[in-house]
Chain A
Amino acid sequence: MDQKMIVSQVVGGSLDAIAREMSATVTRTARSPLFNEAHDFTTGIFDLSGHKSRLVAQAPGCTLHLYAIVGAVDHLIDTFRYDLHPGDILLVNDPYHGGSHSLDWTIVMPVFYNRKPILLPAVRSHMGDNGGPVAGGYNPNSKDIWHDGLRIPPLKIYERGEKRQDVFDLIVANNRLSHWLEGDLDAMIGACKLAANRIQKMLDQYGADQMIGAIDERIAYTERRVRDEIASWPDGTYSAETFADHDFQGNRDIKLKATVTVSGSDLHIDFTGSSKQAAGFINSPLSNTTSFAFVGISTCCDEDIPINEGYMNPVRVTAPVGTVVNPELPAPCGHATACVGAEIAEAVLLAISKCAPKRVGVNAHKLPLAYTNGVDEDGNQWVNLNFFGYTGGAGAAFETDGWGLYPPVMTGVTLPSIEMNEIQYPSRVLKHEYVADFTGAGKWRGTPGLDVQIQHLADSSTSVMMAGVRNTTKGFVSGHDAPSNLVIVNYGADNQQAVEETAFAVKMPPGGIIQFRRAGGGGWGDPFEREPELVLEDVKNGLVSLSAAAKTYGVAICQQSLTIDYEKTEQLRRK
């Protein structure tokens, strides 16, 4: 260690700070609520020192994008590697060119020094719409990639500083939310330009060689720390499988299998054994698969490790072509960031839980998605995504009860306000509360499940895409699985309908209610090992019933005094 290491830390810290600044700029300047409220994007900086691009720095927005941006930039660079000029700005969204689902667009801008492209700021974001048959992009009837929406292969939207207006027009013409789209693209481009200015200044100060040297050090540092983590896991091969309920086309129990091999500080994740690619839109392109694998691994490592290429160096991912984790054209992929993304991370974490149980936490998001749309008095279309209904499901980890709503994988996405929702839509939330005994029990339990009732005050129709019913979020290390999600359309009416897999455009009269029983997360560890005092606390707080305390947790609590009967507890737990 010497001065080089210090420079590396200063340079690395500044690049991380620039990525965060980019993120703040996107939040501040974008138009669509997906950016400025849901923060469904990520920003990063890459370099181009060797033959391929390397992730150098990153600011987390939505972790789903975390590594998917890597695949997208790789493809952009592969395409334009020998055709990059100052002022160029590149764009891609195609799942078959390093994307995840086609709603996620990636923008990259090369920064030059001595006429060579050195660093590349990039933004990847979930756009409000992407053309195709369904507004907002989630089309459960999708049978091929073209049903998902517009495919944008790697292209230049700015060439040598000139906007390619024809390309822009083509893209905007294929989008329902064109008034937002242009603003959102400007925000993404603006963030890249801000970063380019800062990076240029750093290049002037340090020169390319010193910068690259500092980045090498930074990447080596991350790699060292990730390797230290992996090396602390016992060598061996650990395998786990989990299932997605269905593919929205009638095929059930889609298998995700992860075999994790630890040898020294190397990690191999092999998805061989996973189901063939599905007919429905749950297929996960390689970028998305890798991304969810790394989402899993990241949560096992210390969170102060800078995220960069070094994270990936110790890890090798194998995903057989033609399977649900690496589909071939023209398999549809529109739902991949939810399903089978959740199951990919779950399979990887379940496998790791067999060798490093204290490092894993339950981190699957199995979302029972539902959107309701109608036409307002002025004849304008409205779409309400019913966020309140499925935002939840945080799982447990070692020494940590699940809490709040989303698990970390979805954190960064903000829930709208109930009052604002009622003002902006003909919609009223009637109930939004935890319910008792509706989460995975464990030595540490999942966040409690929810009872949510949303009333739509105008004529409307609702589509539901269920998940987590037959195959619920798994508990770890003898922790219990989460219970099943339940969604009932026209709740309380004669024609109420519990959705099994998919409901498409179910009509609801004014005042129609959707009920969501959104399950909590999976538990960690045997519930019989939970501190009885914590169980009592949950009982007092109405999160665990007395009977569940006895039956699930083996804790006897006196109903009158609300105190623990330790003797009886010991008896219960002996069984």
Chain B
Amino acid sequence: MEQAINANHWVLGVDVGGTFTDLVVTTKQGKLLSTKTPSTPDQSDGVMNGINKIAGLLGVNQETFLADCPLIVHGTTVATNTLLEYDGPKVGLLTTEGFRDEIEFRRAYKESVFSVRLQAPHQIVPRRYRIGIPERLDKEGEIIQALDEQAVRDAVHRLKAEGIEAIAVCFLFSFVNPAHEIRVKEIIKEEAPDMFISLSSEVLPQIREFERVSTTIVNAYTGPTLQSYLNHLEANLQKNGFRGELFVMQSNGGVQNVEQTGKLAAGSLLSGPAGGVSAGAFIGEKSGNENIITVDMGGTSYDVSVIEELQPTITTESWISRYRVALPMMDIHTIGSGGGSIAWIDSGGALRVGPKSAGSFPGPACYGRGGTEPTITDVNVLLGYINPDNFLGGEMKLDRDLAERAIAKYIAEPLGMTTMEAALAISQIVNSDMSNAVQYVSSQRGYDPREFALMAVGGAGAIHAGRQAEDLGINTVIVPALAPVFSAFGDVAANLKMTELKTRFEDIDTLNLDDMNRDFEQMEKTAREKLGGENIVGHFETHRYIDMRYKGEVHEVTVPVRSRTKRITRLNLEATIKDFHEMHERLYAHQDAEQTIEILNLRLDLIGVREKLKMADEPFGKEDPIEAKTDERIVYFEPDPVTIPVYDGAQLTSGNLIAGPAIIEQWGTTIVVYPRQEALIDANGNCVIEVQQVRGGNQ
């Protein structure tokens, strides 16, 4: 009976993080349920445990739950971890003869401009597995030296004999003419049928050889592991009754099926955090905030990203684990400030926070697992922001004395301060580090943070966000109701997305419009074939973009093309050019109507739009939150303590207004409402804090 009612009703989002596996389920009625379970070494075990747990919350068994679930969207760190820990398979590279070291040259980039002691990055493909193949194309894609097929065969034999499991192929100008790379793929398949193959013309058919070879190598390195993990997970789900589709969150904020994800593993390196940013845009829309800076403060890091007019900013400039990955992805800036970041005094007597972290083991001193050095979590316990008896809903007890001892020993005593002064100083330093990061991210992209709302997620984000808003001149802080499982929530809400790219290098004046339309048409067709998802998609949307720049410039602007039909008309193109000038002005502070415009790439996003996630709005009830008040406690905003009310987030209802200073405790997050701030619980249970700007007098 129950089964019949709920048939095809759940959509599940599962995000696997370093510590926890988060799950969110939606029902057709717009109900949302969430839970967390510890992550496991084989990520699929944690996923199955979580499914069991959430099925229990729904009152059904796992089999029934899975049978009635047409769609699971998964955020996974399998590819990311492979790259971060360098534990992927042995990879070989075939490249144009004479150019096998571009991956080591890195266009001369080094992470430090001072250090003569900075070590070289780990070589995923040692030089002996990088083999130059006689062949060469010119810039038009014309063959000026034919592919030496025997050299390819010999190279594949050699690599196979060395135990290579994946081969990356990257030839100069293959983005214009992929014939040689395609032929190499055929030869590899003949000579080594089980080899994982990553062609640059498939992974990133785009000009600039270093960016392309690096991305292609990363793809070869992460692909086999991700592919086998996803196959294993899918089989496991099916064994337990799952007959729906498994999709994976991609770094660009769209989702794709298992097959595509396995082929383009380099596209899912931000699978986890991208879910969170997508969720940020969704909540932004629900709460009426189009411009948002999301900050995610976890155990070891602090991630900043910008959402403008509900669109998360996308970048192609990323470095991950010292490798260049030039696929479009969410623009997420990370600094090493998290709850586990350790406070220390350097040799010059300055108080510093991070980047060293106590991680989850031994973890902060207050965890009582042998950690002795003071962390941000210890500071937050000592200052009274975190309730040691109610951490993770009381699942974990924290030891305030250990926190105090750590701060006293390592910071307060050496600096001759009281322990409380030391804790406040650490707090001030870390807030300032994080605010500077937000300010920098904004300036670099040409934004003013004062025009944005600050959305705080992650375990510790909402403790610090109120202070940062003051530092940055931001008036609104949003703490989403689902902050503790935010990425999984984003997984549930996301659309399918397939990005195609084609390099067309030419002046816009001499552009053949019909020719370009044919390219776009072909790209759309390809995208459609790859996208899949017929069963879960309502309709498809196509977005076309042209990468343009003024002749002679080194950076290009991705300009959206607005057309009302499948074809781009002369008028559409003219409008696009006009938009280019304006976007150029905003991004680079100048425009030049006289200057010749060059086209670099055509881009096409095919979006498989899913039925919009429903979230039922709760009517506003009483303004007075007194019924949710559970306690009062002593906290320190400055060396003199104040006693402030504590509210249980679970008992707060829409319309409650909480005047700061106050603390709201909810499972997985603590919100600090600072003096001169007011928090309102909105119709979706999000906590929206209004910040009054003060001037002068740093405390």
Residues of A at the B interface (CB closer than 8 Å) are 1-3, 5-7, 9-10, 13-14, 16-17, 20-21, 24-25, 28-29, 31, 33, 36-37, 60-63, 183, 186-187, 190, 194, 204-206, 210, 221-222, 224-225, 228, 298-299, 302-305, 360-363, 391, 395, 397-401, 403-408, 410-420, 422-424, 428, 430-434, 453, 537, 540-543
A-B contact pairs, 10 of them (CB 8 A): A7-B698, A10-B432, A10-B698, A299-B116, A361-B117, A406-B108, A410-B108, A417-B208, A417-B211, A423-B139
Kindly list chain A residues whose C-beta atoms are within 8 Å of the C-beta of B172. 418-419
B119 touching A204, Cβ below 8 Å = no
10 further interface pairs, Cβ-Cβ under 8 Å (given A33-B552, A405-B105): A10-B428, A403-B120, A408-B116, A411-B110, A411-B113, A418-B102, A420-B207, A423-B139, A433-B100, A542-B128
Kindly list chain A residues whose C-beta atoms are within 8 Å of the C-beta of B173. 419, 422
Residue of A17, A360, A540, A541 with most partner-chain B CB within 10 A = A17
Kindly list chain B residues whose C-beta atoms are within 8 Å of the C-beta of A228. 347-348
| B315 on interface, CB distance cutoff 8 Å | no
A303 to chain B, nearest CB (A): 5
The one of B114, B117, B128 in contact with A541, judged by C-beta atoms closer than 8 angstroms, is: B128
| B32 on interface, CB distance cutoff 8 Å | no
A205 touching B429, Cβ below 8 Å = no
Instruction: Please judge, given known A-B contacts A60-B113, A417-B107, whether A5 and B350 are in contact too, CB under 8 Å.
Output: yes
A225 touching B348, Cβ below 8 Å = yes
Kindly list chain B residues whose C-beta atoms are within 8 Å of the C-beta of A403. 104, 119-120
Instruction: Please judge, given known A-B contacts A28-B587, A31-B590, A413-B108, whether A362 and B127 are in contact too, CB under 8 Å.
Output: no
A417 touching B207, Cβ below 8 Å = yes
What 0/1 pattern do residues 678 to 699 of B give for CB contact below 8 A with A?
Answer: 0000000000000000011110
| Least CB separation from B414: chain A residue | A1
A432 touching B138, Cβ below 8 Å = no
The one of A5, A194, A397, A404 in contact with B351, judged by C-beta atoms closer than 8 angstroms, is: A5
Distance A363 CA – B421 CA, assembled complex (angstroms): 44
B443 touching A13, Cβ below 8 Å = no
B511 to chain A, nearest CB (A): 16
Count of chain A to chain B residue pairs whose CB atoms are closer than 8 Å in the complex: 212
The 5 closest A-B pairs by CB, nearest first: A361-B116, A403-B120, A541-B127, A17-B436, A431-B98
What 0/1 pattern do residues 224 to 250 of B give for CB contact below 8 A with A?
Answer: 000000000000000000000000000
Kindly list chain A residues whose C-beta atoms are within 8 Å of the C-beta of B138. 422, 428
A221 touching B348, Cβ below 8 Å = yes
Residue of A25, A37, A228, A411 with most partner-chain B CB within 10 A = A411
Residues of B at the A interface (CB closer than 8 Å) are 98-102, 104-110, 112-120, 126-128, 132, 138-139, 172-173, 207-211, 346-351, 415-417, 421, 425, 428-429, 432-433, 436, 439-440, 443-444, 446, 505, 552-555, 587-590, 695-698
Distance A205 CA – B472 CA, assembled complex (angstroms): 13
B107 touching A401, Cβ below 8 Å = no
Kindly list chain A residues whose C-beta atoms are within 8 Å of the C-beta of B351. 1, 5-6, 9
B697 touching A205, Cβ below 8 Å = yes
Instruction: Please judge, given known A-B contacts A541-B127, A543-B127, whether A423 and B119 are in contact too, CB under 8 Å.
Output: no
Kindly list chain A residues whose C-beta atoms are within 8 Å of the C-beta of B588. 28-29
Kindly list chain A residues whose C-beta atoms are within 8 Å of the C-beta of B110. 404, 406, 408, 411
Distance A360 CA – B116 CA, assembled complex (angstroms): 8
Instruction: Please judge, given known A-B contacts A417-B209, A419-B172, A428-B138, whether A400 and B119 are in contact too, CB under 8 Å.
Output: yes
| Least CB separation from B207: chain A residue | A419
A177 to chain B, nearest CB (A): 10
Kindly list chain B residues whose C-beta atoms are within 8 Å of the C-beta of A428. 138
Instruction: Please judge, given known A-B contacts A1-B415, A24-B440, A418-B172, whether A183 and B695 are in contact too, CB under 8 Å.
Output: no
Distance A190 CA – B589 CA, assembled complex (angstroms): 9
Distance A2 CA – B173 CA, assembled complex (angstroms): 60
A404 touching B126, Cβ below 8 Å = no
B120 touching A404, Cβ below 8 Å = yes
Kindly list chain B residues whose C-beta atoms are within 8 Å of the C-beta of A61. 113
